[in-house]
Structure 1
Amino acid sequence: MPLIDSTAAGTGRVAIVTGASRGIGRAVAERLAADGLAVVVDYARDASAAEETVTAITAAGGTAIAVQADVADDDAVAALFGRAQEEYGGVDVVVNSAGRLALSPIADLDLNVLDAMHRTNIRGTFVVAREAARRLRAGGSFVGLSTSVVGTQLPSYGAYAASKGAVEAMTLILARELRGRDITVNTVAPGPTATDLFLDGKTDEQVETLAKAPPLERLGTPEDIARVVAFLVGPEGHWINGQILRANGGMV
């Protein structure tokens, strides 16, 4: 498995962040590293982008390695967690940021696109959550990523919202299944956030309309979402468990 090494870690807390080569995942990885966690940067294909994340973390004085793993591949995910165990001694935080987005009216959606999106968004979340449930240490946290479109229900987002609705459905169930282990499980559901995934294929007019939707009248940033995740996995957020947190600037 391709591996990009950096500075060796100490004995502090350890995080795995999937989809951490870009967008929200990268912002989360950098924020958790700034908070003192050693971070395993998971990526699916873009090794150079993952290396950029690791370089940014280490240049700021943090600790990180990058490991390639398709989140829907259970053997690869087990190896990802195994590498975190081998390198840093265990896992305390798992943030599953890896995801796919495809927009289409339901009547027109290519079912191959549907299957690929659901493989990453539903199966991938389940595989990562399952491994987290087996491996997280006491005091740890699992955070999934959904979307506020589950609530706003905009046209053309039907398949995507359905896949993220599945993520939300798992959240409280997993929190209850981990009773007695001092592990929290939450999901963050961003609103319109200025990432490549969000901006791809949208006109300037569409972006402007979505930016005006929240009462704060702007797009979110990956750093906005990273701050929410950092709170949930830190000591101040440890009483929050089994929740869906809609980080969207006030959208319905």
Structure 2
Amino acid sequence: MKSLNALFKKYNGKLTMEQISEGIYFCIENATNIFGDAYILIKANRFPRALSLLLLAIQEAGKVNILKNMTMISTKNQKLWKKEWKNFRKHETKDFLGHDVKTSSEFNDSPGEYFWQQLLYKTNNFVPEREKVRQLGLYIDYIPSDKKWWSPNEINKKMVKIAESEVIKILYKLQMEKEIGFFSAKALKIYREEFNNFHPEIEFGKEYEIEDFGNRFFGLKGPYKKYLSRLIKEGVLNKIPDNLTISGKPWKEFIYGQD
């Protein structure tokens, strides 16, 4: 790097498939390193800063899905490239895509823990608040409704352990997909070819069975199945773990209709 000024110039242009693949690897590596730093703080009972880093790791993991979205953009569509780069740098978007949401019942009835439950698991309404909480782990602020000062020291171990558990699940999934080979340049090219013309067949306000919804929204029996079949047939993937499930089924059963 010739000058530090290059770090402050925001790039909004196109990327090759190889560059997208490399970016995904770097995001997974960085999210894992951030989690490692948070883990050190947890062991030292430094919970406020640990929480901020855990939420930051989720944001960094969210960049993977944004980069996958970039595989669908035409090299000539500068408007879409600019929009996706904006998402890449936007905290709320990264939070939304980084969370592998799961309902939790490990809470009592205290208002603070109820808020935390909403914060972690109610994705649509609380995405902006996650970024605020990340900052609350770092800064003093005044809470007018409570007529008192907020201190990061109010963040406790239980809150942090819940966030830690979620980050572990997210990173485990990404690391497994990385090792299998889903993020190689060749795999991403096949992903683009199979999903480029796919549009979810969903009517808003209409109820669907879970399996039918998956088929319509994610193309599980259409492009997704073709995409996975091609990855295997063309030898793109490394060894696939036998315990890998797709849509709740063992992967062999999902693709070949057998155990």
Q: TM-score when scaled to structure 2? A: 0.24
Structure of greater Rg = 2
Give the structure with the higher percent helix.
2
Give the structure with the higher percent strand.
1
